[in-house]
């Protein structure tokens, strides 16, 4: 069984690798998609990268990937924003399983303390059903609305050494995660991690981690700088902003993380996230759930509409997404970069495909001035790209139809 599985995984990787020089099929009909056409015509300005993957099935229902990259460059830096929360969430589940403590579960209360001025405690969570934080509830908030604090708490739990070493072991070689998000502290302070304690319903400690620190200084290769100027507080600083000690998550690595959780069988064992089926299904459910479908946490659907974090095809539309569609994805947007990595499913037509993309919309090249062309170019680009690829897939003939029944969750 293991031998056959390894052969199958190697076959998948070989098929993908052999297709990486194929052009993205942006040929006919682009005149219907003016923003997509505009962005593709100026790759330098918009720093656009796309990785589209067609999925076919063999007679056993196993996936076969055919990848179409456009302007893909793992060495070209873009700020990954909230996309890094997906591997953080997955690794938190892997960490949980590694502890092998029966009473330590997704729902176990997780209390975060603070021992440094730069740290904040977290001993309650008003959005959870019992008012207490847990790994599971943090992951829900990450996947539903990209909650920053939730991701930071899991970062503090594991520490940057664990995160970066695990990602490297899985072959994700163009990723560096070194910081809490929307929490402006120094690189040195980001190397310090809060004490964490897990307790049972009576308050008895099940597992405890003391304050820790990393002696490693993870630096983004190339010491990238972005923009011609940036605001720091209320002051305009001339010159590019230094991203050397921020996060890096290349588009191919991001795309690979999405594929690993959707089709773990398509990867060698060492490359997978080692999750049991319960935890994997938990992730898939909340990756695809819409904010209005969540009870705990409960979200205001005016602010958190269906497409709040579903850019492809629906990014410019605030109406409810039809139930025939499910998008298993993670988005990010910051400093003028918009990113989305998705597994897109239409249950009615049997369409399924992967697409990951990044676009930069910062006309004045000034960071932190809140003047980004998100509504004018960024979201229309994703909506048009998603629609364009969806229409390609609807017309594409498949020898073996996809069975998508396992992706229907009780929301």
**pLDDT higher than 60, residue 49:** yes
* CA–CA distance, 315 with 307 (Å, rounded to integer): 6
Q: Residue 74 CB: number of other CB atoms within 10 A?
A: 15
Strands 235-238 and 229-232: antiparallel
pLDDT per residue over 54-107, tens digit each?
999 999 999 999 999 999 999 999 999 999 999 999 999 999 999 999 999 999
**What number is the average pLDDT over the span 323-336?**
98
The number of folded domains in the chain is 1
SS3 of residue 317 by DSSP: coil
Cis peptide preceding 66, ω within 30 of 0: no
**What number is the average pLDDT over the span 387-396?**
96
pLDDT per residue over 128-185, tens digit each?
999 999 999 999 999 999 999 999 999 999 999 999 999 999 999 999 999 999 999 9
Per-position DSSP letters for 146-162, written without gaps between them: --HHHHHHHHHHH-HHH
**Rg (alpha carbons) of the chain, rounded to whole number:** 21
The domain that contains 163 carries what CATH number?
A: 3.40.710.10
Q: Residue 25's pLDDT band (boundaries 50, 70, 90)?
A: low
**pLDDT higher than 90, residue 18:** no
Q: Which domain holds residue 400?
A: 2-407
For the chain, give the percent of residues with pLDDT over 70.
93
pLDDT per residue over 188-207, tens digit each?
999 999 999 999 999 999 99
Q: Residue 254: how many CA atoms within 13 Å on its side-chain side?
A: 35
Q: CA 13: distance to chain centroid?
A: 21
98: CB partners within 8 A, 6+ apart: none
**pLDDT higher than 90, residue 323:** yes
Strands 229-232 and 325-334: unpaired
| Backbone CA torsion sign across 177, 82, 257, 378 | negative
Per-position DSSP letters for 25-71, written without gaps between them: ---S-GGG-HHHHHHHT-HHHH--EEEEEEEEE-TTS-EEEEEEEES
Phi, psi at 361, each rounded to 5°:
-130, 85
* CA–CA distance, 195 with 109 (Å, rounded to integer): 14
**pLDDT higher than 60, residue 349:** yes
Q: Are the CB atoms for 104 and 205 separated by under 8 Å? A: no
What is the per-residue pLDDT for 7? 30
**pLDDT higher than 90, residue 9:** no
| Backbone CA torsion sign across 149, 88, 164, 72 | negative
The residue whose two tokens read 């209320």 is 234
SS3 of residue 373 by DSSP: coil
Strands 229-232 and 366-367: parallel
Report which of 145, 149, 157 is spatially closest to residue 330, judged by C-alpha positions. Answer: 145
* CA dist 215 → 159, 188, 251 (Å): 11, 10, 28
Mean residue pLDDT of the chain comes to 93
Strands 192-193 and 212-213: antiparallel
* CA–CA distance, 385 with 407 (Å, rounded to integer): 23
């Amino acid at each position: 069984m293991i031998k056959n599985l390894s052969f199958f995984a190697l076959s998948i990787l070989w098929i993908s690798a052999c297709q990486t020089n194929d052009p993205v099929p942006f040929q006919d009909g682009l005149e219907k998609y003016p923003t997509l056409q505009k962005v593709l015509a100026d790759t330098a300005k918009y720093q656009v990268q796309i990785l589209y993957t067609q999925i076919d099935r063999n007679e056993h229902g196993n996936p076969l990937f055919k990848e179409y990259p456009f302007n893909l460059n793992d060495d070209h830096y873009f700020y990954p924003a909230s996309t890094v929360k997906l591997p953080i969430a997955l690794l938190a589940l892997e960490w949980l399983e590694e502890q092998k403590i029966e009473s330590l579960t997704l729902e176990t209360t997780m209390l975060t303390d603070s021992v440094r001025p730069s740290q904040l405690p977290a001993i309650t969570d008003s959005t959870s059903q019992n008012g207490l934080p847990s790994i599971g509830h943090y992951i829900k908030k990450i996947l539903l609305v990209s909650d920053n604090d939730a991701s930071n708490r899991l970062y503090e739990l594991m520490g940057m050494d664990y995160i970066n070493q695990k990602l490297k072991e899985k072959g994700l070689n163009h990723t560096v995660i070194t910081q809490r998000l929307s929490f402006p502290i120094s690189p040195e302070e980001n190397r310090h991690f809060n004490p964490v304690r897990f307790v049972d319903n009576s308050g008895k400690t099940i597992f405890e981690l003391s304050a820790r620190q990393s002696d490693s200084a993870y630096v983004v290769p190339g010491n990238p700088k972005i923009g011609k100027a940036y605001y720091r507080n209320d002051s305009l600083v001339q010159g590019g902003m230094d991203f050397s000690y921020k996060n890096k998550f290349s588009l191919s690595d991001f795309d690979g993380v999405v594929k690993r959780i959707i089709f773990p069988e398509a990867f060698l064992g060492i490359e997978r996230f080692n999750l049991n089926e319960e935890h994997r299904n938990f992730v898939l459910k909340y990756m695809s759930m819409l904010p209005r479908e969540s009870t705990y946490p409960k979200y205001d659907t005016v602010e958190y509409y269906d497409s709040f974090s579903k850019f492809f095809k629906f990014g410019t539309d605030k109406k409810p997404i039809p139930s025939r569609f499910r998008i298993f994805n993670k988005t990010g947007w910051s400093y003028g970069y918009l990113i989305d990595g998705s597994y897109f499913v239409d249950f009615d037509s049997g369409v399924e495909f992967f697409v990951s993309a990044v676009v930069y919309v910062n006309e004045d090249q000034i960071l932190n001035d809140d003047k980004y062309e998100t509504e004018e170019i960024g979201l229309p680009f994703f909506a048009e790209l998603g629609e364009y690829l969806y229409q390609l897939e609807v017309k594409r003939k498949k020898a073996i139809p996809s069975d998508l029944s396992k992706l229907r969750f009780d929301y």
